Chain A
Amino acid sequence: MSDCKDLLGALAEYLDGNEQAEMCTELRRHMATCEKCRVVVDSSRRTIELFRDEELVAEVPVDARDRLHLNLKNAWKLCRGESTGT
C-alpha cells in the first residue's frame, strides 16, 4: 500500500482484531510514514475503547432501579408464591 487508498478496507480488519492479516501488516508499515493514516487509525481505535469503557457507561437511574426491584419482587410473589422473605 503505497498510498492511503486502501486505508478503509484495512482499517475495518485492523479494528476487528485481524491484525495478522496481510493488509494490516501493510497498514502498519504505511502508518509509520503517513501521519494522516496514523491519526485516523489511532482515533478510531480510541473511539471504540471509550465506548467499551465500563466506567463511562451511564449508571442505572436510581428511580428506574428502585422500580425494577420492586416490580421483580411483586412478579416473583405472583408466580412463585410468597417466598420473598418478607
Chain B
Amino acid sequence: MSPRRPVANLDRETETALVERAKAGDFDAFDQLVRSCERRIWAICWRLLGEKEEAENAMQSAFLKAMEALESFRGEAGFCTWIGRIATNEALEILRRRKRREGISLDAFATENDDGPIPHPELLVDWREDPSRSIERAEVRRILDTSLDALSPGLRSVFVLRDMEGLSISETAEQLGITEANVKVRLLRARLALRELLTRAFGGQQLVHTHLEHAGLGGLASAAEVPS
C-alpha cells in the first residue's frame, strides 16, 4: 500500500504558469492556486486539530505564510505539497500551544505513548461490505472525525502525517522531532486503535469481543476506549 498523495485538480503545467503569474503580482492566479489546494490543507489542519476555529487559524496562517514566501517557492515539490508542509507546521505549533496551555510539557508531547505493551486487537469481526456505500457519506465522515479525536495528539499527529499526508517514516520523524522508532510504534498504536473504533462502527451484526489468546501479550486495556 503506497501512500497516496491527494491529487490537486491542476496539472503541473497549469500550476507552473499560475505560480509565475502570481509571482508577477497577479492575485487571481494566486487565488486559483489556493482554491486547488484548500481542501487538502483544510484536511490536514482539521484532522490534526479537530477543532474548527483552530483549524481555520492554521489554514489561514499557512496560506498567508505561503503568500509571503512565494518568491522562494521553486517548484521542486508541487504547490499543494509545499503549502501542506507549512500547514502541518502551523497546526503542530497550535497543538503544542494547546498542550502548554493545558499544562502538559512539550517533553510529554514528545515521549508519550511509546512505552508499555501495544494493545492487542480485540474486536474480531468482518466489516460490512463497503461502509462508504452503505452508510451515508456525512455519517462516515463523522465517524472518522470522532475516531481520530479519540487519539492522543502524539498518536494523531503521526497517523495524519504518515497515513493521510503520505510522508515517509523519516519525514514524519523529522517533522515531529521524534525518532523513527517512535514513529513506527505510534503508527501501529494509532492504526490499531482506529481499527477498533471503526470496527465498532462498521463491523457486521454479530459483534463479539474476542481476544486472541496469546501468551505474553497482556495489555488488553485498549487505547481505543470510548464511551459507548
Q: Is the CB of A12 within 8 A of B132?
A: no
Contact with A along B153-192 (1 / 0, CB 8 A): 0000001000110000100000000000000100110011
Contacts of B1 in A (CB 8 A): 15-17, 45, 48-49
What's the least CB distance linking A43 to chain B, in Å? 5
What's the least CB distance linking A56 to chain B, in Å? 5
Q: Is the CB of A4 within 8 A of B214?
A: yes
Counting CB contacts under 8 A, is B78 at the interface?
A: no
What's the least CB distance linking A45 to chain B, in Å? 7
Say whether chain B's binding surface is mostly helix, strand, loop, or mixed.
Answer: helix
Q: Is the CB of B67 within 8 A of A51?
A: no
Which of A44, A71, A83 contacts B64, CB < 8 Å? A71
Interface size on B, residues (CB 8 A): 62
In angstroms, Cα B152 to Cα A58, docked, is 20
What's the least CB distance linking B46 to chain A, in Å? 6
Q: Is the CB of B144 within 8 A of A50?
A: yes
Q: Is the CB of A50 within 8 A of B39?
A: no
Contacts of B132 in A (CB 8 A): 50, 53, 55-56
Say whether chain A's binding surface is mostly helix, strand, loop, or mixed.
Answer: helix
Q: Is the CB of A68 within 8 A of B195?
A: no
Counting CB contacts under 8 A, is B112 at the interface?
A: no
> What residues make up the interface of A, taking CB atoms closer than 8 Å to B?
4-5, 7-8, 11-12, 15-17, 36, 39-40, 42-61, 64-65, 67-69, 71-73, 75-76, 79-81, 83-85
> What residues make up the interface of B, taking CB atoms closer than 8 Å to A?
1-4, 6, 25-28, 30-31, 34, 38-40, 42-43, 46-47, 52, 55-56, 59-60, 63-64, 67-68, 118, 120-121, 124-127, 131-132, 137, 140-141, 144-145, 148, 159, 163-164, 169, 184, 187-188, 191-192, 194-195, 198-199, 210, 212, 214-217
What are 29 A-to-B residue pairs whose CB atoms are below 8 Å? A4-B214, A5-B214, A8-B120, A12-B184, A12-B188, A16-B1, A36-B212, A46-B127, A47-B194, A47-B195, A50-B132, A51-B164, A52-B164, A55-B132, A55-B137, A56-B141, A57-B47, A57-B141, A58-B42, A60-B39, A64-B56, A68-B34, A68-B63, A71-B60, A71-B64, A76-B27, A79-B68, A84-B27, A85-B28
Known: A40-B121, A43-B195, A47-B191. 11 other contacts (CB 8 A): A5-B216, A7-B121, A16-B1, A43-B126, A43-B199, A44-B192, A56-B137, A57-B47, A65-B38, A72-B64, A75-B67
